[in-house]
């Protein structure tokens, strides 16, 4: 008898935003493969009865490669275990959940997806920045900042992105922020477009840095901005100032 796999989103951090379905499957799991992104508060509640596998620090040191994570999940399910793959936010937004489900299905494994509240919406929202707003933005685009805009083979079309009128939300974008700001302005986006960087959203040490496309690179450098952070570009960022005391 083979077991079952669950691809579970933890939400952006904090027990309050973990869904009841996520809690239920976590508490029943035989094996939990987790990343650090769900955050200390949630990771501290993983059941001691389950085999806990830290994909960031497997066996004490090495980070599991994506194919190793997938192979471990397959192996554990085939051994009859109920396996939870716990990821930050929502498993299908830049979470490689799509790749994992493909591999599991290739092996004929039953998979249930448990959606999570994505950091892309919740992290800005919790500091008063709505990703859409009737007055400021009628569309929102989620972008991975992992792609270096200076590379010709980039999967992203920065010319098109610079022309969009709505909000741009960039995940994993801290390292490439200078190149991203540069690419957007080089393609004609207004350098005065407001930008907010929210580091460690919903954690006790959350921090927000606000600027414009023209000065955000300098401000981020001066502040020592580090991942994980959500970057929001667009008029909605003005609402942060309004909400701030
Ligand atoms: N699937 C996740 C995103 C995974 S990509 C989701 O839906 O939220 C990882 C990126 O998510 C990080 O580099 C960062 O950009 C963002 N992120 C996730 N949680 C965050 C948090 N609590 N605060 C700030 N950024 C966060």
- Do residue 44 and residue 159 come from a single domain? no
143 is in which domain, residue-wise?
120-244
C-alpha–C-alpha distance, residues 149 and 176, integer Å: 8
- Do residue 109 and residue 183 come from a single domain? no
- Do residue 10 and residue 112 come from a single domain? yes
Identify whether the C-beta of residue 47 lies closer than 8 Å to the C-beta of residue 26: yes
User: Residue 98: CB within 6 Å of ligand 1?
Assistant: no
Active site annotation includes 57: yes
- Do residue 170 and residue 234 come from a single domain? yes
- Do residue 37 and residue 105 come from a single domain? yes
Confidence bin at 58 (pLDDT 50/70/90): confident
Give me Rg for the CA atoms of the chain: 19
- Do residue 105 and residue 124 come from a single domain? no
Ligand 1 pocket mutation pick from 8, 17, 37 by most atoms within 8 angstroms of CB: 37
Helices (H), 95-231: 97-106, 119-125, 158-163, 177-186, 216-223
- Do residue 213 and residue 125 come from a single domain? yes
- Do residue 224 and residue 160 come from a single domain? yes
Q: Which of 102, 117, 132 is the last residue of a domain?
A: 117
Q: What is the CATH number of the domain that holds 129?
A: 3.30.950.10
C-alpha–C-alpha distance, residues 92 and 131, integer Å: 19
Confidence bin at 2 (pLDDT 50/70/90): confident
- The terminus-to-terminus CA distance of the chain in angstroms comes to 58
Q: What is the CATH number of the domain that holds 43?
A: 3.40.1010.10
The pLDDT tens digits for 168-220 are: 999 999 999 999 999 999 999 999 999 999 999 999 999 999 999 999 999 99
- Do residue 53 and residue 104 come from a single domain? yes
Ligand 1 pocket mutation pick from 36, 171, 173, 177 by most atoms within 8 angstroms of CB: 171
Active site annotation includes 126: no
The partner residues of 23 in beta bridges, in order of sequence, read none
Among residues 54, 126, 148, 172, which one is catalytic?
172
Identify whether the C-beta of residue 47 lies closer than 8 Å to the C-beta of residue 236: no
């Amino acid at each position: 008898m083979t077991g079952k796999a669950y691809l579970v989103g933890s939400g952006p951090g904090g027990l309050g935003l973990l869904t009841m379905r996520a809690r239920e499957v976590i508490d029943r799991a035989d094996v939990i493969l987790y990343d650090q992104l769900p955050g200390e508060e949630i990771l501290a509640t993983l059941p001691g009865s389950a085999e806990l596998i830290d994909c960031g620090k497997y066996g004490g040191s090495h980070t599991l490669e994506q194919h190793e994570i997938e192979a471990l999940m397959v192996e554990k399910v085939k051994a009859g275990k109920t396996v939870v793959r716990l990821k930050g936010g929502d498993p299908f937004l830049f979470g490689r959940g799509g790749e994992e489900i493909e591999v599991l299905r290739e092996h004929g494994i039953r998979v249930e997806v448990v959606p999570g509240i994505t950091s892309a919406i919740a992290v800005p929202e919790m500091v008063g920045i709505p990703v859409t707003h009737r007055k400021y933005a009628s569309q929102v685009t989620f972008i991975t900042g992992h792609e270096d805009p200076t590379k010709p083979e980039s999967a992203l079309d920065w010319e098109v992105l610079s022309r969009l009128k709505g909000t741009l939300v960039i995940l994993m974008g801290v390292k490439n922020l200078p190149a991203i700001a540069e690419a957007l302005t080089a393609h004609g986006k207004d350098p005065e477009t407001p930008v907010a960087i929210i580091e460690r959203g919903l954690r006790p040490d959350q921090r927000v840095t606000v600027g414009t496309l023209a000065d955000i690179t300098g401000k981020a450098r001066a502040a020592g901005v580090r991942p994980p952070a959500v970057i929001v570009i667009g008029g909605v960022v003005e609402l942060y100032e309004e909400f701030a005391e």
